[in-house]
Structure 1
Amino acid sequence: MFRVHPSTCPDSTFPPQMQEMNYGCGTTVHPAELSQEPTVLYVGIGGGLEALQFAYFARRAGGVIAVDPVPAMRMAAARNLEIAGQLNSWFDPSFVEIQAGNALSLPVADAAVDVVAQNCLFNIFEPDDLSQALQEAFRVLKPGGRLLMSDPIATAPIPPHLQQDDRLRAMCLSGALPYETYVEKIVHAGFGQVEIRARRPYRLLDTQTYDLPVPLLLESLDSVAFKVPVPPDGACIFTGKTAIYTGSESMLDDQAGHILQRGIPASICDKTAAKFARDNPDDILITASTWHYSGGGCC
């Protein structure tokens, strides 16, 4: 369970039952992506916790559309949001519009929302369904819109006997993809820029319980994918790398949009990092991924 950080939504009170129903592995609520009162589509409402957090930034009737296929979940979330309305003077339950629907066929028109978000939902899908869910998110986003996701990823491929266990998949333990495959699917859906907000340990699958030759670590990955065209030379993936020019001049201009001042780290995407490492190995130091990036980079 991921607890709400108080600084995300200052002066807010979250009903205990809402927090108890939050089984996300991270968070999709990144204030930097929620300026100018966006319209948010939240897929898989859960107890309504993140829908309430998104409403903090939207603050208007229907500013958040929460979709879930399970009637009992929709009813429980609606009750929790009514309680939240009693606890928070800024919130009105009309801010969150709860609809029946699922991630594979979203009940929203093309290019209708600024943000799509999901927490610990897409990892339960089989690969083909995951691709369809990502394509649906891409469809409903406006140009330049953002897909905010938090999912478990695997540090090694998960064996077939665990992937085929429906109970473990529903518990968010066996559907996790390796990082490279996860990001590849996002890009294949059409997203031209992906930024990693956080990457942290999530669960350890031990050898005895899960019949594994060695323990397998799952990590939680928070990401933001932008509906922008994929550049001809590939998508821009930001993982917290920086480039530091170490040459004799005061700066370096690669004539491709990257200007580096000597001795000052500049955020770059992984694609640019690989190019610099190949073309300027003696003059540019490339730092390792921090797996924490919040914008302002080279591309």
Structure 2
Amino acid sequence: MTYLETTAQFYQAVAQTPEVGLCCVQSSPLQLPGLKIPAIMAEMNYGCGTTVHANELGQAPTVLYVGVGGGLEALQFAYFSRRPGAIIAVDPVAEMRVAAARNLSLAEAENPWFERSFVELRAGDAFQLPVPDASVDVVAQNCLFNIFTPTDLQRALREAFRVLKPQGRLLMSDPIAARPIPEHLQQDERLRAMCLSGALTYDNYIHQLIAVGFGQIEIRARRPYRLLDCQQYQLSEPLLLESLDSVAIKVPVPADGACVFTGKTAIYHGESEFLDDQAGHILSRGVPATVCDKTAQKLALAYPQSVWVTDSTWHYSGGGCC
């Protein structure tokens, strides 16, 4: 049996008998005005963070959600795109699609603004998304891609890239690991299905996104997720897993490398009123300017005595400079 078959069996079971806190005991549904979440949908909140970021969802985008779970984030996306078929939710597990359909019908009864037609459930998986090329504005997945091996992860990312329109956005929430996961844990198929042994390091995770062609990546949040202890997981020292919420934008990778925003700022503190580096960056004296990590490094190297670069905050919501 492959790890994908083990994962399918695992989620068949939890679709029929929800396990509260299966992925992340600290995660709670995003609260939105006028949105009521059925109790069973909240119980099936199988994710380590959130992919629903309001500033990505203007103008009622078409959203392809991969791995529907209990339907919670499909419902939240529908909050921003209130039209038939705006949300396409794909899942390979029939039992999970049945559970999501039931939960969405409950949500329709509790939310006057929501119509069941807003969310279309389709059979399919991350490797063969059932939509044409360049046909959706947003692809989203929560705590799914970390289950894949690196080879399968590349397949899933290439498929997401394929279906996105130019300027489209891949919204992801996955665990990442402070150091590489030991081989004996990677080989444990049930731990992988539980989002505990397939996590990549941050650098590797970002590299995977750039490798398929995403030219801009923005970190929305990074927080502690789980600690794998020495006794239970046969480790020489505890291993921290973190939850990473990110947005990857389908724009060309610049010649000097992708732009990755992690919340760094550059602050000019020289003698002049402002600094113009002749590369499109103008820094007013004493005023923090949000920049991508690449630009932060370039400014720090070019102006070591007059530009202060702050550490990553691991939160970025737009407005910065590449």
How far did residue 56 of structure 1 move?
0.4
Q: Could you tell me the percent identity over the aligned residues?
A: 70
Structure 2 partner of 1:243: 266
The code of the aligned residue for 2:297 comes to A
**How far apart are the structure 2 equivalents of 1:247 and 1:10?**
46
TM-score under structure 1 length normalisation = 0.99
Structure 2 partner of 1:86: 109
The code of the aligned residue for 1:292 comes to H
How far did residue 275 of structure 1 move?
0.5
Q: 2:256 aligns with which of 215, 230, 233?
A: 233
Whether 2:81 is the aligned partner of 1:58: answer yes
For residues 259-299 of structure 1, the C-alpha deviation after alignment (integer angstroms, 9 at most, x for no partner) is 10000000000000110111111010000000000000002
**How far apart are the structure 2 equivalents of 1:196 and 1:5?**
18
How far did residue 11 of structure 1 move?
1.2
**How far apart are the structure 1 equivalents of 2:278 and 2:75?**
45
Count of residue correspondences: 297
Q: Secondary structure at the match of 1:67?
A: strand
Structure 2 partner of 1:267: 290
Whether 2:99 is the aligned partner of 1:67: answer no
**How far apart are the structure 2 equivalents of 1:166 and 1:150?**
20
The code of the aligned residue for 1:51 comes to A
Structure 2 partner of 1:134: 157
How far did residue 256 of structure 1 move?
1.0
Whether 2:199 is the aligned partner of 1:153: answer no
Structure 1 partner of 2:53: 30
Structure 1 partner of 2:213: 190
Structure 2 partner of 1:209: 232
The code of the aligned residue for 1:93 comes to R
Structure 1 partner of 2:30: 5
Structure 2 partner of 1:168: 191
The code of the aligned residue for 1:121 comes to L
**How far apart are the structure 1 equivalents of 2:41 and 2:105?**
11
**How far apart are the structure 1 equivalents of 2:71 and 2:275?**
49
**How far apart are the structure 2 equivalents of 1:289 and 1:15?**
37
How far did residue 255 of structure 1 move?
1.2
**How far apart are the structure 2 equivalents of 1:293 and 1:221?**
12
**How far apart are the structure 2 equivalents of 1:139 and 1:255?**
36
| Cα RMSD after superposing both structures | 0.5
TM-score under structure 2 length normalisation = 0.92
Structure 2 partner of 1:218: 241
Structure 2 partner of 1:18: 41
Structure 2 partner of 1:179: 202
**How far apart are the structure 2 equivalents of 1:255 and 1:74?**
54
Q: Secondary structure at the match of 2:263?
A: coil
1:249-260 matches, within 5 Å, as 249-260=272-283
**How far apart are the structure 2 equivalents of 1:147 and 1:31?**
14
Structure 1 residue runs of 5 or longer lacking an equivalent are none
How far did residue 5 of structure 1 move?
2.9
Whether 2:66 is the aligned partner of 1:48: answer no
Whether 2:120 is the aligned partner of 1:97: answer yes
The code of the aligned residue for 1:53 comes to Q
For residues 212-269 of structure 1, the C-alpha deviation after alignment (integer angstroms, 9 at most, x for no partner) is 0000000000000000000000000000000000000111111111110000000000
For residues 118-142 of structure 1, the C-alpha deviation after alignment (integer angstroms, 9 at most, x for no partner) is 0000000011000010000000000
**How far apart are the structure 2 equivalents of 1:279 and 1:271?**
12
How far did residue 23 of structure 1 move?
1.4
Q: Secondary structure at the match of 1:230?
A: coil
Structure 1 runs (4+) deviating above 2 angstroms are: none
Structure 2 residue runs of 5 or longer lacking an equivalent are 1-23
Q: Secondary structure at the match of 1:97?
A: strand
